[in-house]
């Protein structure tokens, strides 16, 4: 509908401009040109706006992972940070007990940080967090796929008493 209105305004502008060649452009037409340019810029900005992250319960994320594939999600959990000099694991688990038993737990999701975020991760300790990231499946060999969170946008540490839902 907006595109139709803009097209109609553009046609009106062309007709008035053609009729008044050689004459001064009316102030209204200058305003109209500016208004059209602003609307077009706003339309371009809106088309590239990022969708809001969907708040997801951690259990629901694990129960129906296919429905969240590639989507931006916001989830609470217990962040496990286990970094050494060369190797590190970061995972979001349902709770602290699951994080302690990470090697046998099936209620954890890998958190995949970009290279530029690694130094920030080294300063974070394990604990309850809220994370906003894109949910993906990472190839793990033998045709298996591991669930993961990547493109981390927000990682907020929560107070200890808050816990993870």
pLDDT in tens, 63-78: 999 999 999 999 999 9
In a domain, 71, yes or no: yes
Q: Is the domain of 21 the same as that of 83?
A: no
CB contact at 8 A, 92 and 101: no
Q: Is the domain of 82 the same as that of 130?
A: yes
Q: Are strands 145-157 and 88-93 parallel, antiparallel or unpaired?
A: unpaired
In the predicted structure, residue 165 carries a pLDDT above the cut 60: no
Structure confidence at residue 85 (pLDDT): 64
Q: Is the domain of 77 the same as that of 120?
A: yes
- Bridge partners for 130 per DSSP: 76, 156
In the predicted structure, residue 87 carries a pLDDT above the cut 80: no
Q: Is the domain of 69 the same as that of 143?
A: yes
Structure confidence at residue 115 (pLDDT): 77
* Residues above pLDDT 70, as percent of the chain: 67
- Grouping H, G, I as helix, E, B as strand and the rest as coil, residue 18 is helix
Mean pLDDT of 22-44: 65
For residue 28, the enclosing domain spans 2-47
Global pTM reads 0.64
Q: Is the domain of 71 the same as that of 146?
A: yes
Q: Is the domain of 107 the same as that of 141?
A: yes
Q: Is the domain of 117 the same as that of 135?
A: yes
Exposed/middle/buried for residue 85 (C-beta within 10 Å: 0-12, 13-18, 19+):
exposed
Structure confidence at residue 18 (pLDDT): 47
Confidence of residue 93 (pLDDT cuts 50, 70, 90): very high
């Amino acid at each position: 509908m907006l595109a139709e209105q803009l097209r109609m305004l553009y046609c009106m502008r062309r007709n008035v401009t053609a009729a008044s060649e050689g004459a001064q452009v009316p102030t209204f037409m200058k305003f109209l040109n500016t208004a059209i340019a602003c609307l077009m810029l706003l339309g371009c900005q809106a088309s590239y706006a990022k969708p809001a992250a969907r708040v997801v319960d951690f259990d629901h994320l694990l129960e129906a992972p296919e429905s969240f594939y590639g989507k931006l999600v916001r989830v609470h959990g217990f962040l496990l940070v286990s970094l050494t000099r060369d190797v590190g694991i970061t995972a979001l688990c349902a709770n602290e007990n699951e994080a302690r038993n990470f090697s046998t737990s099936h209620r954890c999701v890998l958190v995949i940080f970009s290279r530029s975020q690694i130094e920030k991760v080294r300063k974070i300790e394990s604990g309850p967090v809220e994370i906003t990231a894109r949910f993906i499946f990472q190839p793990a060999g033998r045709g298996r796929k591991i669930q993961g969170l990547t493109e981390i946008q927000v990682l907020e540490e929560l107070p200890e008493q808050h816990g993870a839902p």
